[in-house]
Amino acid sequence: MTKQERANYIHQRLEKLFPVTPIPLDHKDPYTLLIAVLLSAQCTDVRVNQVTPHLFKVADTPEKMSKISVEKIKEIIRPCGLSPRKSKAISDLSKILVKKHKGQVPESFEELEALPGVGHKTASVVMSQAFGHPAFPVDTHIHRLAQIWKLTKGKNVEQTEEDLKKLFPKDSWNKLHLQIIFYGREFCPARGCDGLRCELCKEIYPKRKTAIMRNKS
């Protein structure tokens, strides 16, 4: 198969495996999604979903969050890890949303990425899942699988994102990035597949005999 043929095959198989792609992080609006995504850095979605109800019970809008001390936020989100950094980012970005954006999460990459603690991946998730704009957030699952499937030679998630956007239709990005994540978690985890074991890897590369060495992001 050529790279494009592999991409097309993978897309078709993922559509059959995951026709429905619920958003993994519990939220009710763009703001609560933004906070949940920020908390998910180096933390599982399951853990985030356990913590956010406690946080959002105390404050679920930028106005309310901006009035809470950083220490209080840190105490609540501690189970998610990196709580000193994340709590300050949550407090600071909430104040900025109130002062500069009338309490609303901005609907642009530039304005989102200007917020404290919000990188390109977080902005991509919000643009995709909160606002429906085409985006292809690349996490470690996607970066790893894209290398195993030889859809990219990217040494970082930025290059992998660029390569994947060229291979898949723009109107598929929002759903597809979740499909790849779901596939990685269920069938091709980092410690369970090296390009030789899961069904999709074997279907794409039936003659592959050597484990894939990956470029870490």
pLDDT digits (tens, 9 = 90+) for 140-169: 889 999 998 999 988 899 999 999 999 999
The region that residue 102 occupies, defined by phi over 0 for left and psi between -120 and 50 for alpha, beta otherwise, is left
Are 155 and 147 a contacting pair, CB within 8 Å?
no
Catalytic position from the list 3, 28, 64, 139:
139
Q: What confidence tier does 216 reach under pLDDT thresholds 50, 70, 90?
A: low
Question: Tell me, what's the pLDDT at 215?
Answer: 53
To the query of whether residue 121 is one of the catalytic residues in this protein, the response is: yes
What is the predicted pLDDT for the residue at 195?
61
**How wide is the angle at C-alpha 159 spanned by C-alphas 157 and 161, nearest 5°?**
65
Is 139 a catalytic site residue? yes
| CATH class, 3-21+136-204 region | mainly alpha
Using 50, 70 and 90 to split pLDDT, how confident is the model at 4?
A: very high
Domain ranges of the chain: 3-21+136-204, 30-130
User: Does pLDDT of 194 surpass 90?
Assistant: no
pTM for the model stands at 0.91
Q: What is the pLDDT of residue 155?
A: 86
In tens, the pLDDT along 26-75 reads 999 999 999 999 999 999 999 999 999 999 999 999 999 999 999 999 99
Domain 30-130 adopts which CATH fold? Endonuclease III; domain 1 (1.10.340)
How many angstroms separate the CA atoms of 120 and 162, rounded? 13
Instruction: Give DSSP secondary structure letters for 23-35.
Output: -SS--SSHHHHHH
Determine the pLDDT at residue 49: 98
Q: Could you report the per-residue pLDDT of 67-94, keeping only the tens digit for each?
A: 999 999 999 999 999 999 999 999 999 9
Residue 192, pLDDT > 90, answer no
pLDDT, mean over the chain:
93
pLDDT at 210 over 90: no
Q: Could you say which of 121, 155, 166, 207 is catalytic?
A: 121
